């Protein structure tokens, strides 16, 4: 199974990693590792997380207040957002 990012989700990921790296050297890398670990779990068990609506599921990122909403299309995971859980919760829904 493969995955791809919505262009805005990829930008969110990069911006969040940069933010954490600017806060503390190495923290951006830690954030990136946790997000990729979350993606690996999604790839291994794509239907393990509950449906939020419109066949969108969300997995939480360990250690950081982020979630990864995604859709499953045949043999591809489409990551819709790398969302900060402390911000407006539904901002990404227009990407569906």
* pLDDT tens readout for residues 40-93: 999 999 999 999 888 999 999 999 999 999 999 988 999 999 999 998 878 888
What DSSP state is assigned to residue 25?
Answer: T
Determine contact, residues 26/12, Cβ cutoff 8 Å. no
pTM above 0.85? yes
Q: Which domains are delineated in the chain? A: 2-85 (3.30.2310.20)
What is the distance between the alpha carbons of residues 74 and 3, in angstroms, rounded to a whole number? Answer: 11
pLDDT given at position 88: 83
């Amino acid at each position: 199974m493969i995955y791809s990012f919505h262009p805005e989700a990829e930008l969110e990921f990069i911006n969040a990693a940069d933010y954490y790296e600017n806060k503390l050297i190495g923290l951006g890398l830690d954030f990136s590792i946790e997000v990729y670990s979350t993606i690996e779990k999604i790839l291994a068990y794509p239907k393990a997380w509950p449906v939020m609506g419109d066949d969108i599921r969300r997995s939480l990122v360990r250690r950081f207040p982020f979630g990864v909403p995604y859709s499953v299309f045949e043999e591809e995971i489409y990551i819709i957002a790398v969302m900060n859980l402390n911000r407006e919760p539904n901002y990404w829904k227009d990407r569906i």
